[in-house]
Amino acid sequence: MSSALLPSWDASFELSPNLDGSTGRNRATSSIKQIGAQTDVQAVQAWLNRYTHSPRTYASYSKEVERLLLWAIMERRTPLSSLQHEDLQAYQHFLANPQPAQRWVTQAGKRPARNSPAWRPFVGPLSSSSQRQAMLIVNALFAWLVQAGYLVSNPLALAPKRLRVTGPTERYLSPDLWHHLQRYVLSMSTQTPSQLRAQSRARWLLSVLYGCGLRVSELIQAQMSDVYSRINSQGQTQWWLRVTGKGNKLRQVPVSTELLSELQHYRLTHQLPPLPLPMENRPLLMPVGGGIKPITRAAVHTSIKQLAKAAAHALRQQDPNQEAQAHQLEQMSAHWLRHTAGSHMANQGVDIRIIRDTLGHASISTSNIYLHTEAEQRHQALEQYHRLDWN
């Protein structure tokens, strides 16, 4: 995170002691600290440094904590380490409508550079799901700063369950938990052919549900032949998935280069040609052991629950302090991955119309106006922003 937290600040700008957190009300006074940070910015940077291995997670988390720091300084005139429960309640209301707009919201139709005087932290109000995601990230930050001995307590610990990372109503995974789930799958044994097939099946199951944002009913109806290619207006090959959604409505879901690679890996481990054949009636997700028998909804749910339980167990063994996150992971269902896909796309700045058309939603919100998104634009947006990042 840059030291230039505000558009008008330059790299040499320093906060005064009453705003930099060095004397924050919530600062731990014990000499037993696990980080050397003396100011809030330093402490936040120490937390962010844990995610440098994943540039997209780092960027997402950095964006949210920077917004909080800016708001605390400019609106509350208080350092992050002095924020209290009431402050965080006010901050969530602020996310729903950042005001004054001229200070916080970028002018419509403009995308100024980060160092431009016209840059603003928001492009508009956050949706309910984006607000929850932002508060989950903030909660994770505060929880870690307490664990690191920088803060005495987490001001979000008193928040309603719907805001807590431990709450069962959070029906999607944070980027952190999504990446942990991926790491667990990558750690599965592949010593024997059957183990390799099991690992590739788990990897493909997560990839197709997250990469395409599918409903379970859509996945179990899909066949390999529903994956097809066509040439776009620039003469490039794009891959798509035909899906039968709610109300028997057909839609075309972009298949990114990453997702196509995952499908090829999955097929090769089952001794199949890397690309589906035009008339291939094999299920897009094959039963355990392969074959052409359609998979059931119950089998998908069982597979997801087994993965979630095993990944949660691995997380507890890795870090006993991650109990809240492990508990949330255990609650995961297949439908969580659809919500996770939509949430992560929104946080990466994908146009809400593209998310709507890809996930097969009837409308953006309560509006009945149907705004068509061009197919090629949807494909390019998911190719660019909605990444699997298995490696």
Residue-wise pLDDT tens for the chain (391 aa)?
443 344 333 333 467 878 889 899 999 876 567 888 999 999 999 999 988 887 877 888 899 999 999 999 999 999 999 999 999 999 999 999 999 999 999 887 778 887 788 889 998 998 887 888 888 889 889 988 988 899 999 998 775 544 443 333 357 888 889 999 999 999 999 999 999 999 999 999 999 999 999 999 999 999 999 999 999 888 999 999 999 988 888 999 999 999 999 999 999 999 999 999 999 999 999 998 888 888 999 999 999 999 999 999 999 888 877 787 888 898 899 999 998 888 888 767 677 777 888 888 765 442 222 233 456 667 877 787 788 888 7
Contact present, 258 and 211 (Cβ < 8 Å): yes
- pLDDT for the residue numbered 362: 62
Helix (H) or strand (E) holding 231: strand 227-231
Query: Which CATH superfamily hosts domain 175-385?
Result: Intergrase catalytic core (1.10.443.10)
Q: Please enumerate in sequence order all residues whose Cβ is within 8 A of that of 187, keeping only pairs 6 or more positions apart, or say none.
A: 314
What CA–CA distance (Å, rounded) separates 391 from 327? 26
Residue intervals in the chain for CATH 1.10.443.10: 175-385
Contact present, 278 and 242 (Cβ < 8 Å): no
Q: Would you say the C-alpha torsion 336, 340, 346, 347 has a positive or negative sign?
A: positive
Helix (H) or strand (E) holding 60: helix 55-71
Q: Tell me, what DSSP letter sits at residue 36? A: -
Residue intervals in the chain for CATH 1.10.150.130: 40-163
What CA–CA distance (Å, rounded) separates 293 from 286? 8
What CA–CA distance (Å, rounded) separates 44 from 38? 11
Contact present, 212 and 357 (Cβ < 8 Å): no
What CA–CA distance (Å, rounded) separates 284 from 139? 38
What CA–CA distance (Å, rounded) separates 294 from 286? 7
- pLDDT for the residue numbered 298: 92
Per-residue CA distances from 23 to 72, 82, 338, 346 (Å): 15, 9, 43, 36
Contact present, 283 and 295 (Cβ < 8 Å): yes
The CATH classification number of 40-163 equals 1.10.150.130
Query: In a 10 Å sphere around its CB, with 0-12 CB exposed, 13-18 middle and 19+ buried, how is residue 12 labelled?
Result: exposed
The residue count of the chain comes to 391
Here the tokens at position 16 are 């005064």
What amino acid is encoded at 82 in this protein? S
Query: In a 10 Å sphere around its CB, with 0-12 CB exposed, 13-18 middle and 19+ buried, how is residue 360 labelled?
Result: buried
- pLDDT for the residue numbered 5: 43
